[in-house]
Amino acid sequence: MSWFQLGSWWLVLPFVMLLVVAALVVAFVLLLYMISPLLSPKPLKLSGAHVVVTGGSSGIGKCIAMECYRQGAFITLVARDEGKLLQAKREVESCAINDKQVVLCISVDVSRDYAQVESVVRQAQEKLGPVDMLVNCAGTSVSGKFEEVDVERFRVSDVRVRTLTWSLASSGRFSCSVCVCVCVCVCVCVWGQSLMEVNYLGSVYPTRAVVPTMKERRMGRIMFVSSQAGQVGLFGYTAYSPSKFALRGLAESLQMEMKPYNVYITVAYPPDTDTPALAEENKTKPLETKLISETSGVYQPEQVAKIVVKDAVNGNFCSSVGPDGYMLSALTCGMSPVTSITEGLQQIVTMGLFRTIALFYLGSFDSIVRRCMIQAEQSKASHKRE
């Protein structure tokens, strides 16, 4: 062999090795795709299943109930407003696929008293059988600048209620009935204001009530409806985001406990969705928050419901909506569980690209905030001159 031929071989060798490595990687990925379904949980059949939906009287919760009913499920709707519950019941019943399906309505505040929630779940199970899927959709939102949001929105304040009641009773100037009335009035005010109570404990209590039966039966699905604001903290959501971030920590810990019992957890991260809650929030939403939210658009609740129900039935831990949602889920996956090997591979492959895109997003968000600040200062200065 001549020196020329030998030199040519050494030039070609790296390319040959690269092709061999690429072929091995492709073969490995194809193998993972083939065995991935064997490792994924078996989908839950909704036909004849009992699905409990909290916050089911309107918005995403109602649409989730309707989607499950279309697939043959029996539904328990849980919410506070009896009037809205009855209206929602009629809408859900219109989606029936057979005459055996039943919609049960129960009016209760799932964030207030665990004993009451446990009793309600027991009542539902006595009528419609064990809960096969729980959808935690009860929640509320508030937006505003950190220093302008009432501190009661951030904290659990039942200690204040107990202290006030004890003080009134011990003073000897008020009867027990007066103390009870004062306690109830303060409770309504305080509990209605606490985002952590409604958004976090409002999911903890129903979940705690259904877990024992699911573990005994070794089957079940539990969905927590969070928000994209539970994946990334944004301007104006200093009270709301922490209550939604908390759901992910709960879900990750619970999934590790429940997986050996064939019970799977799903955390849904819907974007802005065209619901009565969003319309109410928009009335007081800061300009910065509105401009940032507009970058991802507004989705319809029926569209969101189809996606999150499908993910929950399949046992997917993370449920995202739209391209922005997919990117956020990949970026924030961290140590979250994966349902399939392919899901993990997709996160590994796309992480670098999505992080690059996210940096541009963050830069534009910062630009929006600075621009709004400058406009506010200029407006303030012009008012002073006048």
- Tell me the catalytic residues: 226, 240, 244
Q: What is the largest CA-CA distance in the chain?
A: 112
Q: Please name the residue ranges forming H helices in 172-261.
A: 176-193, 195, 202-217, 240-258
Ramachandran angles phi, psi of 206, nearest 5°: -60, -35
User: How is residue 236 written in tokens?
Assistant: 């104006």
* Separation CA 370–CA 256 (nearest Å): 42
Of 203, 177, 178, nearest in space to 267 by CA: 203
* Separation CA 288–CA 144 (nearest Å): 10
User: How is residue 307 written in tokens?
Assistant: 């996606």
Say if residues 186 and 112 touch (Cβ distance below 8 Å): no
* Separation CA 66–CA 75 (nearest Å): 9
Which secondary-structure segment (H or E) carries 136? strand 133-136
DSSP 50-107: EEEEETTTSHHHHHHHHHHHHTT-EEEEEES-HHHHHHHHHHHHTT-SSTT--EEEEE
Place of tokens 């305080």: 190
**How many CB atoms are closer than 10 A to CB 362?**
11
* Separation CA 138–CA 254 (nearest Å): 19
Ramachandran angles phi, psi of 76, nearest 5°: -115, 115
Say if residues 328 and 228 touch (Cβ distance below 8 Å): yes
Of 273, 284, 364, 253, nearest in space to 322 by CA: 273
**Number of helices (H), then strands (E), in the chain:** 14, 7
**How many CB atoms are closer than 10 A to CB 51?**
28
